[in-house]
Structure 1
């Protein structure tokens, strides 16, 4: 699974799963566009990768910011062969009757609309170069109803649907699109979050089933495979990476 002479764009690459993805692609030979809303995080990841990386600060929920991100990537490297739509945020685990509209709109804007905006901006370049691979970070919440709040669950179900739509639409153009569904993973996505008491109590028994925590590198390995030629006939796949949690 080598990526020599290829370019990977990874969103949310300043920490956690995204950082592990950026490191994995660089180790496999790719040049990496390290994107994050946190300029410091993006810079630190890019610095660790050395000359094979470009740090770009972008808000994936804003179309103009995404346009600037893709323009920077193309300006630096001339192509984008791999897109890892990894950036995302948690909700407060609020149940449908309790979630504030502002929280709903923010989570959907980042997790779903953001994934769409970056995909929408990268696709023309992949089409013009004759192919590419997209790996979306969805979630166990993308196939289940009881592991997150209403907003996060809806957003990740949307990412699953978007993944399948892109895979179907561009299969004949050499573009593959797949998604990983991480189970509980050691990241900072929930750092500082205040969870809704009723939602947390309701979801607690299901969350307890996923008591084993994965390392970000285990998610990165799955993304590396899906983007590689080893997965050249894998398209539209929705793959749990959860240690068997989804099998329960």
Structure 2
């Protein structure tokens, strides 16, 4: 079975304007990025290739994009926006300390939360509730709050990845990696993670206290391959793909 038939979602990057005219501008922009990414992956799959600092930065950008463009993440962005709207609309019900604590879960600083609180408390409660109703009634594809806005988090994720230790792991000829439909963890990336780039190559990211200017590379051990494949199977929502049925069946 082709991965194209089970590992993609139609119209995921279609955006609409205020008159509901669809646009492929985002899809087209991503295609340009994907073409550059494909060249990077081609270089990295050459075991004799000596990677550069630019390659490392490019790989961080590639992984950050993959993390933020996942359908679950795109849908979560709109969901979190509505959750934020509920906090803002109910500001009259919170003390400043309570409001600040709730805003902190949305990565809003204490100073910004304080300013928001003052402004919101100056508005009638009825106005805030009406605006919340307008927000929650928006279509999932409405131009005011498109799910594709989650892609704006890419620079933040990319910066986190650049601060980590990155290893390229080559699978020996008798071994192979599998890939699930949720390849990159959707939270706590700073704690470390792994993600296959193909059946023969994976990335291992780990927290570190020192700056790493270049990618490190080595052969993966049998236990590392088994652990990475198990993680892909455990994190997958519906689908795991691999080079053989025997390999997939061997994963518990």
Q: Same fold (TM over 0.5)?
A: no
Rg (Cα) greater in structure: 2
TM-score calculated relative to the size of structure 2: 0.26
Larger fraction in strand? 1
TM-score calculated relative to the size of structure 1: 0.27
